[in-house]
Chain A
Amino acid sequence: MYLNKDKIVSVSVQQNPLVCLFLMFLVFCSLSTHAKNNDAKHVLGDVTKIYMSSMTYIFKEQKLINQRGGNKSKLFGSEFIENIRVIYKSKYSEPFPLIDHKSKKVLLQSMVEVMEENRELISDEKLDFKGIIPATFAFQLSAKLSTKGVGLKIKFTRTQESIRNKLNNPDTWEVKVMKSIIKKPEVFYDNNALLNGKAAYRQFTPLPMVPHCLRCHGVPAQNPLNFGKNEEDWTDIDMTGFKMEGWTLDDFGGGVSISIEKSVIDSNRSYQ
């Protein structure tokens, strides 16, 4: 007799109701795992995009941050968050995510806290360049999140040999991921990773190099400190005090690495 796979299953199920129950259990487990993975993917995706929108907003407001005096209220509190919402919508052409998970709520609150901690610096009327740029803001935000106890870790990192802030050095997972995607940058998602020895979801989102990155990381001709000066007077030190790397738009721009412990995905839902 010749039976295909479907007939075998059908025969087995008719013969034994226990097999049926077992199969249903397997389907349920598989659906549940699939749903959890999707949930985690959504949370990680939303958190990454909100984080990246805040970096874009910080870049957009460099003039306001560094100017002496003026009304800077849009850099603080709820106004700051409102502006990140606007950036998010225009950047990703989609509505701002629902704040339905504690990690998203804590992320937004941490942004407000970080900006408040920089208030004196931002309001200093005797200083020009304040050093609050996307990378430093992102780093402060990551450090702040690490104190919140929500099992969420987020980091703006890149390949070890070219990183400026050694505290942002990539870990083993990040090194491996960057190696695998550096030639063809794309989002890398891992639902079976570890974070501090605990099961975690991890995602690495590469950032494309864009023209404004090159003001610090490009060549002296792109350094705003050199604008209007003769070439012999140019400096290869950027406004943050680092030597310019001479990168181009084709170079790897690093990325946002985000990790969340599996145990906190389910336990922190329903925040609004």
Chain B
Amino acid sequence: MHYLKCLKLIILLNLIISFQSQGEKLRVGLVEYPPHLNFNMKSEDTPLYEYVNRWLNNLNVKIEYVRLSTERGIKEIQNGKIDLLFPLDVEIDGVKNLQTPLFHSVPGLCFKREKFIPILSATHRFNNLLVGVPTGVKIVPALENSRALIVELKGNEAIRRGIDLTQRGRIDAFYHPYPLQVYHRENPKYQEVACSSFHGYLNPVHIAVSPKLSKYKVDSIESAYKKAMEDISYDYYFATRDKSKYIKTH
């Protein structure tokens, strides 16, 4: 067992040394993903940045972070202008992810509080429910096979419109691929909705790796990440973090 650990450590050290010998920096793209990565806060004060930065720093290379929209981030990683991009819950053509997902998102519905449905496996309660779904978002079978009435929410601001329409009673609920993004304490704008989840429908959220990054660099990043996840998974890190540290800057 100890021999195995030693061997892993030696391999990791070798990879780190070979990485350093290249003398290059790592460009890392960040995509907003509250409550894990919130652009309303300093990056250093968000749990996902803190977690990833900690093990990336073990590689002893210069790291440059850039905040990007998802669309821009996808383009940048595809053409190799950034080396890593996270968190991402979509698959990108020609771009691989680190093997283990950071965490899993669970889709759900957000309601006006008076119409809250806490347990979404009770799909008979969706009968004639008017549910807004952002264009292009694939819904879970439980909703698809129900008697809910689906209305398309168009445009880039679909979620914002969904919240607005729900608050005004124009729709009964809106579908969100990860409702925790809006249903969290640091988001006072959305205090008028309450969200519940389609438990059992899990989507992996990854760290994407540029196809232009050399194999030995990918290997060294993968090893450092694997070791970090063995020490403490991001899920557990997020659950047990010192919450008093994460204070909004405005």
Which B residues, 191 to 250, have Cβ-Cβ distances below 8 Å to chain A?
191, 194-196, 199-200, 202, 204, 233, 235-236, 238-240
B184 within 8 A of A: yes
B129 within 8 A of A: no
Let me know if A147 and B101 touch, CB within 8 A.
yes
Assess A131 versus B196: contact at CB under 8 Å? Given A109-B233, A147-B104.
yes
Let me know if B119 and A241 touch, CB within 8 A.
yes
Let me know if B236 and A109 touch, CB within 8 A.
yes
Which residue on chain B has the smallest CB distance to residue A130? B118
A109, A126, A143, A240: the one within 8 Å of B119 (CB): A240
Assess A241 versus B117: contact at CB under 8 Å? Given A109-B236, A113-B236, A123-B185.
yes
A77, A121, A164, A241: the one within 8 Å of B194 (CB): A121
A12 within 8 A of B: no
Min Cβ gap B187→A in Å is 10
B180 within 8 A of A: yes
Q: Please, which residues of chain B bring their CB within 8 A of the CB of A78?
A: 240
Let me know if B240 and A120 touch, CB within 8 A.
no
Min Cβ gap B43→A in Å is 21
A167 within 8 A of B: yes
Rounded to whole angstroms, the CA-CA distance of A35 and B184 in the bound complex is 49
Let me know if A140 and B199 touch, CB within 8 A.
yes
A136 within 8 A of B: yes
Min Cβ gap A40→B in Å is 20
B14 within 8 A of A: no
Let me know if B121 and A166 touch, CB within 8 A.
yes
Interface size on B, residues (CB 8 A): 31
Let me know if B199 and A139 touch, CB within 8 A.
yes
Which A residues, 154 to 171, have Cβ-Cβ distances below 8 Å to chain B?
164-167
Let me know if B119 and A131 touch, CB within 8 A.
yes
Interface size on A, residues (CB 8 A): 36
Min Cβ gap B15→A in Å is 22
Q: Please, which residues of chain A bring their CB within 8 A of the CB of B202?
A: 143, 146-147
A242 within 8 A of B: yes
Let me know if B119 and A113 touch, CB within 8 A.
no
Taken residue by residue from 113 to 143, chain A's Cβ proximity to chain B (1 for < 8 Å, 0 otherwise) reads as 1011100110110110111100010011001
B183 within 8 A of A: yes
B residues at A contact (CB < 8 Å):
100-101, 104, 106, 113, 116-119, 121-122, 124-125, 180, 183-185, 191, 194-196, 199-200, 202, 204, 233, 235-236, 238-240
Q: List 21 A-B contacts (CB under 8 A).
A: A109-B239, A113-B239, A115-B239, A116-B239, A117-B106, A120-B184, A121-B118, A121-B183, A121-B194, A121-B195, A123-B185, A124-B194, A126-B191, A126-B194, A127-B116, A136-B119, A143-B199, A143-B200, A144-B235, A149-B100, A241-B125
